[in-house]
Structures are given as structure tokens and as C-alpha cells.
Chain A
């Protein structure tokens, strides 16, 4: 069977959210080799995805005019680009599934494949969108009452049903920093990962809030070990936290910021029972690794689109301020609009398995479930009947798939 290619050129979170469609495509066409084109730094994660044959790196730096190998005139740059493109020796794809409604993704799809499904299916410079493309754009602009998860919309975009079960990845054997392996492996303690950073400044949780959460965990979860997770950029946050916390807390936290490769991160996340963070790539990655997630969604993050995928996760959703949108606030003040209060005690209640009140001021609690139409979030204490709303969308946008919740 000819090869197909799935294109996801966005960030870690979007790549992770693409695993359900990969899983669905693989289930539907098990004989069709499916390759993945993703940003070069994320290739190690892509290589862990079940259902993917080969992963090709997309190196944005190569295309930039200031790239060292590029000449000064566009003609020199073009010759260089064409030469390198030819040397890449991409297989001839009969089909590309493109998830990015960005010219780069669309152009890459048309450069690499004879036919494109998903974004750009009408042609490389045709602005017309597929029904699911339209839907995603509408949701991005005006969320309304959307109850279709982004990962499931990706499935619709690629003309497949969401997978029967939420997919998982399994870490390959990666050595963790010395001493950590023993500490995490044999303790039998509850391990909670805190995702300190976020790609967007407006989604970063303040240090003081992390400090309060850690203290609450230390007080209420006596056996829990807390991992501070992040890249090099989060090193300063972690350092500030370690400095601010009482000495008694320090033997309960392990600072892993900047100490893990992507593969080691997967390995680390797969040891966590719970992971807490805002709407970030590592939070989503943790759910693929088997951890349960508690998301703090504020600013532009919205549970129904990008809540952690699969069943058993929780999201605290902060309601947006009336008046200015988060972007307007950011543009006006240069600062993200941050919640005034945070559901710290309530989150620790969730981690300890205790009862919790589903509302805390501007925060509401949502719990994830999974059915034949993918992942959806219900109010924690009063399930809504969402089946009809979701069914209607699927019937309208993908009538041939004959979707049902069962």
C-alpha cells in the first residue's frame, strides 16, 4: 500500500494532540505505512508514537534567509533550497494528512504529496476550508458551545472516527539522572509532577502559587514526592521556588528543570501518578504516558478544546473577565491576565482522592470522559447531556462516518 504522511508542524502540545488521529488512521488503514513530519526538535517524541513508520524532521531554521548556507540573493537561496530539498529524498506520498491551517503546513503537504486531506485540501493557495477546517476556525474565533475536543476534530479533518480508546505511548529505556532512577522506581510513593513553564507567557503560573501548592501537597499528602518539571527556561522559577520554600519541604521536591531530554521527560512523566500544570505540551504529554492530569486552564485555554485527552483527567477552568479579552488585556498592559485566586486546596483534594467542591469563585471543575466520539468534559458534580450536541456536529461535518457515542 502506498505511503501516507501526517503533517503537524506546530508545538509539542499540538503534536501530542495529534496522536489520536494517528491512532485512528492506523486502525483504519493498518496496511498503509504512515509517516510523520514534525518540527525537528520533537522528532524523539514522534518516534514513540504507535502507528508511525518514519518521522521526518521539519527544520524551520533551514528556510530562514539568514541561514548560514543560504546565499544573499533569492536566486542563490532558491538554488540552495531546491538542492537541499532534493537531497532530503522524501518518499513519494500519494496522500498527506495536514493538520496545520498555516501556509507552511499546507505548502509542505503539497510539496510532498499528490493529494492532501485536511487543511489545504483545496489547493496550496486556495483559502477554501474543509467543513472541519471551517469548524476549527470558527471555534478558534468564537468558541461558543463547542464540545468537540481538538484531537477529535483532527480526526474529523482527516476523515476518520476518533480511536476506540485513548492512545498511549511507552517510554523507551532512557537513563534518568543518577540516583533518580532508584528514588522514583522503588519508593512506592505517590509521584506528582508540576509543569512549571508554558510556551506562552500568559499561561505561566506565578511562583507564589506554585509555592502554595507545594506546601499544601507537603502538608496533606505526606508520602508524595514532587517533581518540578520544565526546561532550562524554568530553571530560574525552580530556583526561586527552592529558595522560597521552608526547609522542611525541600526533601519532598526534586528539581528536574533543564535536566531532561525529551525522551527522559517521557520516562519521567510515565512515573508520575498525577501531573499538574496549565495548558502546556508536557501536561498533554503526561496523559499519553499514563499519568492523570489536573489542568489549570486560564487566559485563552479552554477545557473543551484542549483539555488533557482521555478519561480520568480534571480541568479547573477559569472564567474569562467580562470586557477585555485576554489578548486585549495583554496588548493593553503587556501583562497576562492572571486569576486572582487559585484552586490550590481543591486541587490537592483531587490528588488525594477526597471530595471537592466543583466551584471556587471564577474557577469551575470539569472531568474528562471518553466514548465513541472521543474525549469530552463534563461538569464535575452535574453531568450534562452532551451526546446530542456532539452527535449533531459530527453528523453535519462528517455525515459519511455515521458516528455514534457507543
Chain B
């Protein structure tokens, strides 16, 4: 017999505020239906959120699956309420002292559940979290500094926005308390647009205090480009494929030599599925920052399942497409700027004369740019066009600078800083503006970071990054010239807007911000791996404090500085330093034995 009052009394023990609020709502969020097994199930908008056949069996499968990753002693945070079969199943497998938190997305949903399900056997041990996003995050972080998030998707998807916000809050909390130092291997591409971004990522991670191994495959670019000399297409592609495969194996060898906590591949990093599979076997976490348009570069479809984490610069439908292709975790991570490179500069003299202009554009000669930029020629302003891939420039030939040579970063920064109106037109293979244009290009962040004013074509994801007080935004191709004209006549407004955009970059859009988000996302997903390292659990002091069950290690750990990260290799070295005559305890011998096997690399490749 279900006793609603008994249920809310039970909830009230740990959450009195929630109890009183539950009494005031009437339910009706869930449509309760009997399942084939004779127990209640539920639907929302004609979609089942529990099995229509046997909700308990389904919940048991979910719980078993989730528990594979959980570690003893972790605090488990559950997204998704429904009829709570999944929480009940999970509780059955846990020791009574393992804490479980359930984030309530909607009071009516919980009320519906409490009307048809009894919590009497297990509900008392659950901690219920309810409130605004910040209240929820605050309640969670007061209970535990590190939680493992488990999502029961059929129910969690009903409140996707809330749960994503909570997750973001947890990421931010983690980012605030980062004290641990990671070893991250950044694997770059052989060439291409993601190559400079790989460099910025490396600088950002180093600036954040992490130890970085950069596998810079651009060193092999001349060799790779030599392959272009093979005329037969199939033959050339085969050789290119083999070349990339070899670079993947080289990356793997670097991992074997000095295993990192995370391998971060940049778009087009030559890591094959075989290499990624091997990294997974070796328990090395992998992430890919795919700084490419998923519609244009589609190799992710074959690689999606290979990386543990994907970070992409587009939202839907990209996120869903990646997930459908098998990516275990996909997150939105827009591009950014490196303010140590893209910074305000005073350009003067001959340089100013060469690089400066009323209006400039720097970029490659895509079709839409050729068409639209022509409108900027012959106007009342001086216009300079910079960049490569401008063969047959037509009307643009008079404004094309340096014969269409490639412009390096340093010169680019000078151009940005000595131009009154920088035009930033996203590339598109059609004639006008990309009708599906969503992601924001790196140039946007770089110009803003330089404190340079820009006129930019609109993108669906632009408003959440910058607003109209920071840059001139036009929405139709025919508005480019008028927008440039408008701002070219307002020098003070330009300066103030550019300053705003620079402030925004420094506050929210540097590569350090991005890396913080990236690492926190991985940390929140894997609290026992990156999460615990970021929180300083591998530092000598923390290890010593948690050494109660192994006092034999305490004297060794005390040899290290409090905040020094201590890994097996360090511990083994400290033991060996005791000298040849040392009499070692069993625990020390076990550490040395573990270290012997850690060094084994014969099956890595």
C-alpha cells in the first residue's frame, strides 16, 4: 500500500523544505500507466520514461551498468527522477554508508512518483537536492567536493537544461578548487587550421601549471607534403594513410615512455582507431577538441567511439550527431584567443604604412569572400586584402597585399591593430553567408583579444559569446558595405566597442578558460581519475592524510613537499634511495614490484 504522507515524511527528514513544497503541489507531470509486469510505469508526452514491460528489470540493468565505473566511497549524484526505480536498484547494490544524492528537476514529477511508489525501504538514505541551479550546486558541494554524476537519461532528458546547468556549476566549482597538476599529452595535426590552436592550447595548459608533452607532428609536414608528388590518387592516399598511421604509432611510443593522465588530440591529429583502442586498453584517457566544422570534415563519424571525450565548437545538431556516431561524451567548447599573442600593439612608421588601412580583411579566398569583399573596393576608404588562396582575384587584385602570400601570426596581429575596421567574414563555399552558420571562427576571438574593432557576419552561436556592444554585426550579405560605412564614421564608438570585446575575451574566452572547462568536464565525469588529481588527491599531503590504512607508506610520503604530486615512480625512487643495504618492508617491496610492471612497455605498440 502506497502511503504518500509516509513518503513525504521520509523525504522531510533530510529535506524539510522540500517536504513542505511537495505538500503544495498537485502533481500531474507524469502519466502513470501500469506496465506489463503489473507495477506502475510512467509516460511524459507519450514517451515512456520507464520500461513498459518491466521497469524494475530495466532499472537493475541500468544500475549494474553504472556501477562498473563507480568506486567505493564515492558520492553518487543522480540526474533523473521518474518513478525512482533506478535509484532503488542502485541502492540495493551499495553499502548503506555510500551516499546518494538525487537532483529533483520538477516537484510535480516527484509528487507523482511518491503517490505510486513506496520509498520506505531505501528512501531515507537518499539525500534529495532541490532548488535553483546555484542552490543545487551549493547543496551538492557542501556534501562532497567530488561527486560521480549518474544520469538516468529517459527521466533526465525531461529537464536537460537544468541538469546541464548543474553540471556546469559543478565544473566551475571544480575549476575553482584545482590544485593538482596533470600530465597532459597534446597531439597536434601535421598541418592545417588546428595547428596554431594546438600551440595556444599547449601554452594555456602550461600557464595553468600542468606538465605538457607536446607531440608536434608538424615536424613531419615536409615529408607528408612530399607525398603529393605521387600522381595516382589511390596510391597517394594509401601512402598518406600509412604515413599517418606511423605518426600515430610514434604518438603511442611517446605515451609508453611517459604515460600522461590525458591525451588531448587536436582536430586532424593522426591518431587512428587502433591507437585509440590501445590507449583505452592502457587506461589512458583521451579527448579530442574538434575545432572544425562537423559538416565539412566528416572523419569524426569513424572516430567518434575512439575518444573518451569530444569537444566541439558547434551545438545541435553536431552534439547529437556525434553521440549517435558513438562518442561517449560530447561537449560544446567554442574557440578562444591567446591574449599573450593576440594583444593590443602600437604599430608605427613604415610598418603602419604597409599594414594599416581603413578597412582590412585577412583570410583565405573562399567563394563568399571573393563575392562580398568586392563590394568594399572603390569606396571612400582604403581597403587591404591579406591572406592566401586568392588565385584569380579579379576586382580584388588591386587590394590584395603581398601577392597573396600567407600571413604569419605576428604580422596578423599588427594588421589587426593598425586597421580601423577589420572585416571578419566566416568562410562559406556558397556565395553569401552560410545559412547553417553556427560556430564562431578563431578570428573573432583574436581580433577582440587585440582590442581591434571588427565587423562580423552573424552566427547562431555568436550572441552567447559577444554582443552588439562589442562588434558590428551584419545579418545579410548586402549589409556588409553599409555596416562598414556606419562604423568607419564612428571612431570613438569603435574604440569603446573593441575595448568591450577585449574585456569579454580576457574574462571568458581565453584558451585557459577553455582548458579549464575541458579539464573540469573530464574531472566531473571521472571523479576518481582526472577529478581526483585536479583536486590534489595525488599530492603528498593529501596522500599522507589518507594513509591511515597503510602507515608503512607514511615515512616515504613525508619525504615529499606537501603539494608535490607523488606517483608510483616517485615512490619507488624514494624507496630505492634508501640504499643497497636497506631492509625493506613488505609494502615497500610491493611498491617496487608494481613499479617494475609499470615500466614494462613491450606490449604497448
Chain A positions near chain B (C-beta within 8 angstroms): 60, 63-66, 71-79, 81-82, 85, 103-104, 107-108, 110-111, 122-128
Q: Is the interface of B mostly helix, strand, loop or mixed?
A: helix
Closest to B577 in A: A125
Range of interface residues on B (Cβ < 8 Å) = 35 or more
20 contacts between A and B (CB under 8 A): A60-B597, A64-B600, A65-B282, A65-B597, A65-B598, A66-B283, A71-B528, A72-B528, A73-B528, A73-B529, A74-B567, A78-B587, A78-B591, A82-B587, A104-B597, A111-B589, A111-B593, A124-B589, A124-B592, A127-B580
Contacts of B537 in A (CB 8 A): 73
Q: Is the CB of A128 within 8 A of B580?
A: yes
Q: Is the CB of A76 within 8 A of B597?
A: no
A77 and B597 alpha carbons, distance in the complex (Å): 12
Contacts of B593 in A (CB 8 A): 63, 81, 103-104, 107-108, 111
> Which of A66, A74, A110, A123 sits near B594, CB closer than 8 Å?
A74
Known: A74-B594, A78-B587, A79-B550. 19 other contacts (CB 8 A): A60-B597, A73-B529, A74-B567, A74-B568, A77-B594, A78-B550, A78-B553, A85-B590, A103-B592, A104-B596, A107-B593, A108-B593, A111-B586, A111-B589, A124-B584, A125-B579, A125-B582, A127-B580, A128-B580
Q: Is the CB of B589 within 8 A of A107?
A: yes
Q: Is the CB of B538 within 8 A of A73?
A: yes
Query: Quick check: is B71 within 8 A (CB to CB) of the other chain?
Result: yes
Contacts of B594 in A (CB 8 A): 63, 65, 74, 77-78, 81
A76 and B528 alpha carbons, distance in the complex (Å): 10
> Which of A73, A108, A110 sits near B584, CB closer than 8 Å?
A110
A76 and B546 alpha carbons, distance in the complex (Å): 12
Q: Is the interface of A mostly helix, strand, loop or mixed?
A: helix
A77 and B550 alpha carbons, distance in the complex (Å): 13
Query: Quick check: is B532 within 8 A (CB to CB) of the other chain?
Result: yes
**Could you tell me the distance in whole angstroms from the C-beta of A110 to the nearest C-beta in chain B?**
6
A219 and B549 alpha carbons, distance in the complex (Å): 72
The count of A-to-B residue pairs whose CB atoms sit within 8 angstroms is: 87
Q: Is the CB of B576 within 8 A of A125?
A: yes
A360 and B431 alpha carbons, distance in the complex (Å): 81
A65 and B591 alpha carbons, distance in the complex (Å): 12
Q: Is the CB of A126 within 8 A of B592?
A: no
**Could you tell me the distance in whole angstroms from the C-beta of A338 to the nearest C-beta in chain B?**
23
Q: Is the CB of A82 within 8 A of B590?
A: yes
Closest to A108 in B: B593
Closest to B584 in A: A124
**Could you tell me the distance in whole angstroms from the C-beta of B522 to the nearest C-beta in chain A?**
13
Q: Is the CB of B592 within 8 A of A72?
A: no
Query: Quick check: is B392 within 8 A (CB to CB) of the other chain?
Result: no
> Which of A66, A73, A125 sits near B580, CB closer than 8 Å?
A125
> Which of B71, B581, B586, B591 sits near A71, CB closer than 8 Å?
B71
Query: Quick check: is B281 within 8 A (CB to CB) of the other chain?
Result: yes
Q: Is the CB of B549 within 8 A of A79?
A: yes
Contacts of B587 in A (CB 8 A): 78, 82
Contacts of B546 in A (CB 8 A): 75
A401 and B589 alpha carbons, distance in the complex (Å): 33
Query: Quick check: is B207 within 8 A (CB to CB) of the other chain?
Result: no
**Could you tell me the distance in whole angstroms from the C-beta of A93 to the nearest C-beta in chain B?**
13
**Could you tell me the distance in whole angstroms from the C-beta of A341 to the nearest C-beta in chain B?**
33
Contacts of A110 in B (CB 8 A): 584, 589
Q: Is the CB of B567 within 8 A of A66?
A: no
Closest to B567 in A: A74
Q: Is the CB of B581 within 8 A of A126?
A: yes
Q: Is the CB of A125 within 8 A of B550?
A: no
Contacts of B550 in A (CB 8 A): 78-79, 82
Given contacts A104-B593, A111-B586, contact A73 B532 (CB under 8 A): yes
Chain B positions near chain A (C-beta within 8 angstroms): 71, 281-283, 528-529, 532, 537-538, 543, 546, 549-550, 553, 567-568, 571, 575-576, 578-584, 586-587, 589-594, 596-598, 600
Q: Is the CB of A74 within 8 A of B283?
A: no
Contacts of B575 in A (CB 8 A): 125
Identify which of A71, A78, A82, A125 gathers the most chain B CB atoms within 10 Å of its CB: A125
Given contacts A72-B283, A78-B590, contact A122 B580 (CB under 8 A): yes
Closest 7 CB pairs of A and B: A126-B580, A74-B568, A63-B597, A72-B529, A107-B593, A111-B589, A103-B596
Contacts of B579 in A (CB 8 A): 125
Contacts of B581 in A (CB 8 A): 123, 126
A63 and B117 alpha carbons, distance in the complex (Å): 47
Q: Is the CB of A66 within 8 A of B592?
A: no
**Could you tell me the distance in whole angstroms from the C-beta of A97 to the nearest C-beta in chain B?**
18
Contacts of A124 in B (CB 8 A): 584, 589, 592
A65 and B578 alpha carbons, distance in the complex (Å): 25
Given contacts A72-B528, A78-B550, A107-B589, contact A65 B283 (CB under 8 A): yes
**Could you tell me the distance in whole angstroms from the C-beta of A266 to the nearest C-beta in chain B?**
28
Contacts of A74 in B (CB 8 A): 567-568, 571, 594
Contacts of B283 in A (CB 8 A): 65-66, 72
Q: Is the CB of A75 within 8 A of B543?
A: yes
**Could you tell me the distance in whole angstroms from the C-beta of A74 to the nearest C-beta in chain B?**
4
**Could you tell me the distance in whole angstroms from the C-beta of B283 to the nearest C-beta in chain A?**
5
**Could you tell me the distance in whole angstroms from the C-beta of A100 to the nearest C-beta in chain B?**
12
A250 and B99 alpha carbons, distance in the complex (Å): 70
**Could you tell me the distance in whole angstroms from the C-beta of A76 to the nearest C-beta in chain B?**
7
A71 and B283 alpha carbons, distance in the complex (Å): 10
Closest to A77 in B: B594
Closest to A75 in B: B543
A27 and B71 alpha carbons, distance in the complex (Å): 52
A76 and B549 alpha carbons, distance in the complex (Å): 12
A111 and B571 alpha carbons, distance in the complex (Å): 18
A128 and B528 alpha carbons, distance in the complex (Å): 41
Contacts of B553 in A (CB 8 A): 78
Identify which of B283, B549, B587 gathers the most chain A CB atoms within 10 Å of its CB: B283
**Could you tell me the distance in whole angstroms from the C-beta of B468 to the nearest C-beta in chain A?**
47
Contacts of B282 in A (CB 8 A): 65-66
Q: Is the CB of B71 within 8 A of A76?
A: yes
Contacts of B589 in A (CB 8 A): 107, 110-111, 124
Contacts of B600 in A (CB 8 A): 64
**Could you tell me the distance in whole angstroms from the C-beta of A73 to the nearest C-beta in chain B?**
7
A125 and B580 alpha carbons, distance in the complex (Å): 5
**Could you tell me the distance in whole angstroms from the C-beta of B488 to the nearest C-beta in chain A?**
57
Q: Is the CB of B529 within 8 A of A125?
A: no
**Could you tell me the distance in whole angstroms from the C-beta of B524 to the nearest C-beta in chain A?**
15
Given contacts A71-B528, A73-B538, A76-B71, contact A125 B592 (CB under 8 A): yes
A114 and B594 alpha carbons, distance in the complex (Å): 21
A258 and B543 alpha carbons, distance in the complex (Å): 49
**Could you tell me the distance in whole angstroms from the C-beta of A33 to the nearest C-beta in chain B?**
23
A78 and B538 alpha carbons, distance in the complex (Å): 14
A125 and B596 alpha carbons, distance in the complex (Å): 12
A77 and B598 alpha carbons, distance in the complex (Å): 11
**Could you tell me the distance in whole angstroms from the C-beta of B252 to the nearest C-beta in chain A?**
14
A91 and B78 alpha carbons, distance in the complex (Å): 46
**Could you tell me the distance in whole angstroms from the C-beta of A199 to the nearest C-beta in chain B?**
13
> Which of B543, B567, B578, B597 sits near A125, CB closer than 8 Å?
B578
Contacts of A71 in B (CB 8 A): 71, 528
A104 and B598 alpha carbons, distance in the complex (Å): 12
Contacts of A72 in B (CB 8 A): 283, 528-529
Closest to B529 in A: A72
Closest to A111 in B: B589
A128 and B579 alpha carbons, distance in the complex (Å): 12
A65 and B568 alpha carbons, distance in the complex (Å): 11
A125 and B592 alpha carbons, distance in the complex (Å): 9
A78 and B598 alpha carbons, distance in the complex (Å): 12
**Could you tell me the distance in whole angstroms from the C-beta of A136 to the nearest C-beta in chain B?**
20
Q: Is the CB of B71 within 8 A of A111?
A: no
**Could you tell me the distance in whole angstroms from the C-beta of B277 to the nearest C-beta in chain A?**
12
> Which of A75, A79, A107, A122 sits near B596, CB closer than 8 Å?
A107
Q: Is the CB of B281 within 8 A of A66?
A: yes
A20 and B474 alpha carbons, distance in the complex (Å): 89
Contacts of A108 in B (CB 8 A): 593
Closest to A64 in B: B597
